[in-house]
Every structure is written in C-alpha cells, then in structure tokens.
Amino acid sequence: MVSQRRNLPLLATPETCSGRTYIVTGANSGIGLEAARHLASLGAGKVILGVRNLVAGEAAKRDIDESAGTAGTDVIQVWQVDLCSYDSVRAFVKRAADELDRIDAVIENAGLTLSVREMAEGHVKPLTVNVLSTFLMAVLLLPVMREKAKKVEGVVPRIVVVGSTYGFEATCKADWEGIKEDPIKGMDDEGMAPLKTYALTKLMEAFAIRHLARELVPVEKTGVIVNLICPGLCITNLVRSTPQDFKDMMHQMYAAVGRTAEDGSRTLLHGAVAGPESHGKLLHSCEDGEPDVPDWVKDDTTMQKRTWEAIANELETAEPGCVARMLDCA
C-alpha cells in the first residue's frame, strides 16, 4: 500500500441518523468503537455494541457516553455476542428481534487474525469469525430487519460487512488458487499457514457478497441493502495476536500511511447510509470502491456463486432453513 487518503468525509449526518437504531459488532475498540461514538453523537436513538467481552464493552459505553453526551440514557447498550459460537450469534439475533422496534443498519465489524491454529465450530477461528458467523448473523437478521422496516415509513435498512482489499493482493490470489474448489476445507487444512487465513477470509467475503446481492434484488422488494466496505489500513489492535516481526512490519506501515481508527470509522458510517447503488458493491475511502475490485473477482460469477454456496451449506447445517427464510421475499 503506497498511499491512502486520510481525513475522510463524514457522510453520516444528524438527518440520516437521528432517532435510528444501529448494531455495531466488534464495538469495544478500534474502528467499531469510533463508528459507534459517531452514531451516538449524530443523535442515534439506540446503538447496540455487540461485544465478546462485556467488561470491555461497558468501558466502551462509558467512554462513548462521556464524549457523546449520552450518559444517563439508554442510547448506548452493551450486548454480548461471541462470533466463535453459532449459539451466541443465534441468541444475539433473537434478542434483537425481541427487543428492538427497528434496525436501521448492522455494521458487521468484528474480525480476527491469528498466527496460530485455533478452532471454533469445527473450523479455524478466522474463518468462523470473519466469514461463517458474520454471514450467519446477516442471514438471520435480514428477514427481521425487513419485517421491522415495513412498520417505519421510508426506511431501507443496511447490512454492512467490513472487508478489505488486502484479499485482492497477488499473494492471496495465489493462495486462493490452491483452495478455490473447496475454500472452507482448504482454509481448515492443517497445512494452511494461519497468517494467510485473514486475507483469504476477506476474499471470500468479496466473492460471497457479490453473489448474495444478486439473490436479493430488487432492493425495493427484498427490503435491505447489503454492501461491503474496506476501511483501509487503520491503526488498531487487529494484529495483537501475531508474531513480533509481523507487528513490527505493520507498525512501520501504520506510521507511513495508517489512518486513525476515527478516520477509518467514517467508511463504516458511509456503508450505513449509502443508497441502493451500493448494493453488492465495495465502498472504499467513503466513495465507490468498485475500481479497486480486480476483474478476476468482479467478473467471475461462477466463483462468486461457488463461494456463497460453500458458506450457505455451512449456515444450513448450523441453522436449517435460514437461507430460504432470508430469500423468501427475493
């Protein structure tokens, strides 16, 4: 990454956010925390911090309440969700269905990179967290969001998946060639280097979102905009569980071109307010990111479909019938 824009525009406004309800996962630190802070400052009615660690979540709530002036209100709420667990995702979605009157956007920001092989739900953890549980939450929430939106005039909810153009790098493309026939099995293989899985999960997201969006058209009928955003290289703690030499390399890149977490969070907010033209597309640097999507990703509809079907098969095992329910109005 030679350079990237900084000081990005804040495209979310009080007019687009006031009184609305948002869910942000991975919201206790980094760009998720800063996105939630912006939403609170812009007058959101509710901002649900989806966090694995409730203690860290409550600290984030206090921080946001103090800076956004929401102390003493229930604007910021801390809900537990652990994307290493399908049961936890299901419980989180049920709570959202039961307790929230509306859901205007879900920003799926939680992500993981590891340098050692660890498993969750029978798969390597970055695959489970970054892809399988992320899409499980989207698939389970989408019909809930669609039904709630019918009761609020003029609302078109958004599901924003936080991806990365890191998945388009040549090294990731080469690794993908070796696993593309069965990407889930390939990433779970004991021979797969753990540090490679993060980029591969981001590539999976890009393929899958493009196919899923084609299944969910027209937006006027299916009721929810689904988009993918790349926040760019941001100074966060994402690499906390990686070897020191990798951390050192990343810190050099942070110093050279890194965005602050606050600056990067603006891309998440863009996804949460972008219009129907963003459906199934990449957003990057608070603008159309499609020029950053290489042709081998953009044009390979067969690979997009195969990747989505691999994910959907896993989701159906976890929650039978969930994909059909999502597509019921498609």
**pLDDT tens-digit readout, 81-119:** 999 999 999 999 999 999 999 999 999 999 999 999 999
The stretch 44-70 carries a mean pLDDT of 98
What average pLDDT score do residues 241-256 get?
Answer: 77
Residues with Cβ within 8 Å of 295's Cβ and at least 6 positions away in sequence, in order, are none
- Which tokens belong to 28? 């206790």
Cis peptide before 183 (omega within 30 of 0): no
Q: Could you tell me if 234 and 201 are in contact, meaning their C-beta atoms sit under 8 angstroms apart?
A: no
Domain count, the chain: 1
- Residue for token digits 């299901």? 90
Residue 8 lies in a domain: no
Average pLDDT over residues 62-87: 98
pLDDT of residue 114: 92
* Alpha-carbon Rg for the chain in angstroms: 18
Structural domain for 85, as ranges = 14-329
pLDDT at 145 over 50: yes
Tell me: pLDDT of 315 over 90.
yes
pLDDT one-digit tens code per residue, 271-294: 999 999 999 999 999 999 999 999
Q: How many CB atoms lie within 10 A of CB 19?
A: 11
The secondary structure of residue 281, as a DSSP letter, is: -
Look over the chain and give the mean of its residue pLDDT values, rounded to a whole number: 95
Distances (CA, A) of 205 to 33, 51, 217: 22, 21, 19
Q: Answer yes or no: is 280 within a domain.
A: yes
For residue range 194-217, what is the model confidence (pLDDT) as tens digits? 999 999 999 999 999 999 999 999
Told to judge if 247 belongs to the known catalytic residues of this protein, a careful annotator would answer: no
Specify the CATH number for the domain of residue 320.
Answer: 3.40.50.720
Residue type for position 240: R
Is residue 3, in this structure, part of any structural domain at all?
A: no
Cα gap 113→185, rounded to integer Å: 18
Active site residue 202: yes
Is 248 part of a structural domain of the chain?
Answer: yes
Q: Helix, strand, or coil here: 203? A: helix
State the pLDDT confidence band at 248, using cuts at 50, 70 and 90.
confident
232: exposed, middle or buried (Cβ count in 10 Å: 0-12, 13-18, 19+): buried
- 201 is written with which tokens? 């999960």
Rounded CA separation 144/250 (Å): 39
Q: Which sign, positive or negative, has the C-alpha torsion 61, 62, 66, 69? A: positive
User: CA 277, CA 288: separation in Å to the nearest integer?
Assistant: 9
* Rounded Cα–Cα distance for residues 106 and 138 (Å): 8
Give domain status of residue 153, yes or no. Answer: yes
Catalytic residue among 46, 61, 148, 202: 202
Q: What six digits make up the tokens of 303?
A: 């690979």
CA atoms in the 13 A half-sphere facing the CB of 92 = 31
Residue 223 lies in a domain: yes
Pairing state between β 105-108 and 46-51: unpaired
* Contact by Cβ (8 Å): 319, 140: yes
How many angstroms from the chain centroid is the CA of residue 280?
13
Which residue in the list 22, 86, 166, 198 is annotated as catalytic?
198
237, part of any domain: yes
Give the span between the Cα atoms of 135 and 144, in whole angstroms.
14
Residue 247, domain member (yes or no): yes
Looking at residue 162, what DSSP letter applies? E
